[in-house]
């Protein structure tokens, strides 16, 4: 999931260089959502992963 977020961020940067600002805003929005979903899933996996170890 983090890979997808980075990919959309790169798409946003390339689109920004070429002046496609509508695509930039969409790609940045998708990248932000994917990054926060990744963070939430990472924290959840850390919490439940430690409980299983005991």
pLDDT for position 38: 92
Q: Which residues contact 24 (CB under 8 A, 6 or more apart)?
A: 12, 15, 16
Which SS3 state, helix, strand or coil, does residue 29 take? helix
User: Nearest 5 degrees, angle CA 16-CA 33-CA 12?
Assistant: 10
Tokens of 8: 């959309």
On whether the CB atoms of residues 54 and 21 are closer than 8 A, the answer is no
pLDDT for position 44: 92
Question: pLDDT (tens digit, 9 = 90+) per residue, 1-54?
Answer: 778 888 888 888 898 899 888 888 898 899 899 999 999 999 999 888 876 655
Q: How many CB atoms lie within 10 A of CB 48?
A: 9
pLDDT for position 52: 62
pLDDT for position 36: 94
Indicate the pTM of the whole model.
0.70
pLDDT for position 37: 93
């Amino acid at each position: 999931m983090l890979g997808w977020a980075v990919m959309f961020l790169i798409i946003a940067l390339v689109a920004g260089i070429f002046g496609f600002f509508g695509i930039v805003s969409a790609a940045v929005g998708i990248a932000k959502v994917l990054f926060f979903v990744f963070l939430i899933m990472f924290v959840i996996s850390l919490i439940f992963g430690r409980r299983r170890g005991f």
